[in-house]
Amino acid sequence: MSDAEYVPPKVWTWNKENGGQFAAINRPTAGAQSEKELPVGEHPFQLYSLGTPNGQKVTILFEELLEAGHSGAEYDAWLINIREGDQFGSGFVALNPNSKIPALLDRSGPEPIRLFESGAMLLHLAEKFGAFIPTDAKGRAECLSWLMWQMGSAPFIGGGFGHFYAYAPIKIEYAIDRYSMETKRLFDVANNRLGEARFLAGDDYTIADMATYAWFGLLYRGLAYNDAANFLQLHEYTNVGRWVEDIGARPAVKRGQKVNTVSGLLERHSAADFDKLEQAAEG
């Protein structure tokens, strides 16, 4: 049946074979699907993740904290393979009932604290270490506003534009138009802001930049969703381009983007892991 002919039935039923790229793992129910404990390393922070933009936000912050001398921010980053359904294992679901990477266990205090949602992790860590979040009320409000803006808008870019432009088994003009318009509008929002301030929250680099860079940097550089950068003419957003160059040059950002990736480190347990990676690349 073609898209234009579809008439929704009175009651929706789950079509397991809808042909989408993620049909095998998507289902309309929540909760654990198998018994599987999570590994635990020696560091105060245990991160269970994958090197997607949502995962990278948190590893970028960990690397920035360590680079800034916060040695208490040492972390183990374990790989969660979402295509294999690792996010539905009982151990993972106990940390994140929403079954999505990243999930974090903060074992630095007397009682372990679980966190899900990348934005919550950024805020928790920034506040804990007193870093990458302004302390004055105005600056903090600006930082939180841009952070929440990123968290609220990412699904329109990923689940909306990315899904219908790159992943959906059929190309639906209406859906691609709708989410292209929204993605370009979001780039324009950032571009305008970055035309009046060096960073999203103002003069200082904050967790709002880390969260947004993980998504906008990837798209701007043409590293996401096939030909999306050209399709959306992202080079037109020159202030975003300046900011992407600026943030992308930071050593901690480069390291953070390598964690939990096939081309970088599948797992990260110490700073030495990056040295080994470089030595291997040098042959």
Residues of this chain that interact with ligand GSH (CB under 6 A) are: 25, 52, 54, 82, 87, 99-102, 117-118
Q: Is beta strand 45-49 parallel, antiparallel or unpaired with respect to 75-79?
A: parallel
Structural tokens at position 88: 């539905």
H helix or E strand, kind and range, residue 254 = helix 251-256
Closest CB to ligand GSH among 218 and 240? 218
Kindly state the smallest distance separating residue 118's Cβ from ligand GSH, in Å: 4
Q: Which residue is nearest to ligand GSH (CB)?
A: 100
Kindly state the smallest distance separating residue 82's Cβ from ligand GSH, in Å: 4
Closest CB to ligand GSH among 121 and 201? 121
Kindly state the smallest distance separating residue 56's Cβ from ligand GSH, in Å: 9
Residues in the chain: 283
Residue (of 56, 31, 46, 55) closest to 257 by Cα position: 56
Kindly state the smallest distance separating residue 278's Cβ from ligand GSH, in Å: 27
Kindly state the smallest distance separating residue 87's Cβ from ligand GSH, in Å: 5
Residue (of 109, 111, 82, 112) closest to 98 by Cα position: 82
Cβ atoms 231, 165 nearer than 8 A = yes
Closest CB to ligand GSH among 99 and 191? 99
Q: Is beta strand 75-79 parallel, antiparallel or unpaired with respect to 103-106?
A: unpaired
Please calculate the CA angle 133-139-145 and round it to the nearest 5 degrees. 80
Closest CB to ligand GSH among 88 and 132? 88
Closest CB to ligand GSH among 93 and 253? 93
